[in-house]
Amino acid sequence: MPARRRPLQLLAGTAALLFATGCAADAPMDALDPAGPYAQDIHNLFVPVFWVAVAVFVLVEGAIIFAAIRFRRRGPDDTAVPEQVHGNTRLEIGWTIVPALILAVIAVPTVATVMRINAQPDDPVVVNVTGVQWWWQFEYPDEGIVTANELHVPAGRPVWLRITSDDVIHSFWAPRLSGKRDAVPGRVHTWAIEADEPGRYKGQCTEYCGLSHANMRLVVVAHDEAGWDAWLAAMQQPPDPPTAGGAREGYELFGQFCASCHQVDGQWEEVLPDSPLSPNLTHLATRECFAGCIFDMTRVELEAWLRDPPGRKPMAPDDGRGMPNLGLTEAQIDALVDYLETLQ
């Protein structure tokens, strides 16, 4: 292969790779696939602005490529110095005014969209969201519910998030439901999301926040009306403590090893005052994921987790960030999972 063709091949290969990775059949966090009115509002702004940007890109890059080809050096004998141009008033005024006009026009729908998506909706479900290294707490102050990683909402009704952080800066993002909102310690940032249809909408912390930033996921579970009422009712009814068998054994072990940090409503409510904020496990077994929503809620995964939490998910338990390895025996792990499975 002639050496001069290599850059072209490299370019074509890179383009093909980018094209291929840009397409995914299963893309649960596709911001270009809005699933609610807020995401749709943002999308309606994004699309025209994108095409304006494409037009600018094609014009500017086209002019650069045209100039590079048209005025290139034509062989070793081409030593003539091109005509030297200094200043062109008409051109300079033109390329100052035209971009300013484009930006001014784009600013009108941009500002309108920003104001619409930031406005507090009528009759929302209010949820206090707290980002923690490395999971999400969702508290429903009007319903007296605290849960983790799975944000349950009614479909077709706006949800008003009051977002803060317990430690460093995180950022809440459920791409199909709206844009991003930072979770900043000491501040409360409000944000509205809404899903048109019942379903599960994945999300992710989108501000780098340390070791397990990539493991700080979430899922928004949107219910139909009956499902929403049923979820609220179930969550407000704490599970009964087990009275016999392995689950009872696990219940006692939970008191010994876990209850200083993890609350279970109606069973273990006295976490130590200086314990790190930890997921409320009251209805753990009803969730589909745990540990920042990176593992499926299965017996196998729960056991693997209890065997060595920092080995399953990078954390720094010595700094109070995340769950330590408690050195549990297999029998203890079995009993604990028996108990956790009763938390319906």
232/289 with CB nearer ligand CUA: 289
**Which one, of 162, 135, 146, 128, lies nearest residue 217 by Cα?**
135
Backbone angles phi, psi at 188, to 5 degrees: -120, 115
185 part of the interface to ligand CUA, by CB under 6 A: no
CA 113 to chain CA mean position, Å: 21
Nearer to ligand CUA, 223 or 313 (CB): 313
Binding window for ligand CUA (CB under 6 A); candidates: 27-35, 106-114, 203-211, 282-290: 203-211
Half-sphere exposure of 310 (CA within 13 A, CB side): 14
Rounded CA-CA distance 17/20 in Å is 5
Contact 162, 125 (CB under 8 A): no
Q: Which range, of 8-16, 109-117, 207-215, 227-235, touches ligand CUA by CB under 6 A? A: 207-215
From the list 34-42, 206-214, 267-275, 279-287, the region that binds ligand CUA by CB under 6 A is 206-214
**For ligand CUA, which is the closer residue by CB, 212 or 280?**
212
Near ligand CUA by CB under 6 A: residue from 41, 194, 207, 265: 207
Rounded to 10 degrees, the C-alpha dihedral 186/187/192/193 comes to: -30
Smallest gap, in angstroms, from Cβ of residue 261 to ligand CUA? 19
Smallest distance, Å, CB 213 to ligand CUA?
Answer: 4
Q: Report the residue from 148, 209, 219, 284 that binds ligand CUA according to the rule CB under 6 A.
A: 209
Q: What are phi and psi of 318, to 5 degrees?
A: -65, -25
Provide the minimum distance between the beta carbon of 81 and ligand CUA in the complex, in angstroms, as a whole number: 55
User: Does 213 sit near ligand CUA (CB under 6 A)?
Assistant: yes
Q: Does 208 bind ligand CUA (CB under 6 A)?
A: yes
For residue 214, count CB atoms less than 10 angstroms from its CB and return exposed for 0-12, middle for 13-18, buried for 19 or more: middle
Element holding 295 (H helix, E strand): strand 295-296
- Residue 153's H or E segment, with its range, is strand 150-154
Most distant pair of Cα atoms in the chain: their distance = 96
Binding mask 162-181 for ligand CUA (x = CB under 6 A): --------x-----------
Contact map string, positions 103 to 132, toward ligand CUA, x by CB under 6 A: ----------------------------x-
Pick the stretch among 32-40, 63-71, 173-181, 200-208 that binds ligand CUA (CB under 6 A): 200-208
Does residue 205 interact with ligand CUA by CB under 6 A? yes
> Whole-angstrom Cα distance, residue 159 to residue 292?
21
Question: Which residues contribute to the site for ligand CUA (CB under 6 A)?
Answer: 131, 134, 170, 205, 207-209, 213, 216
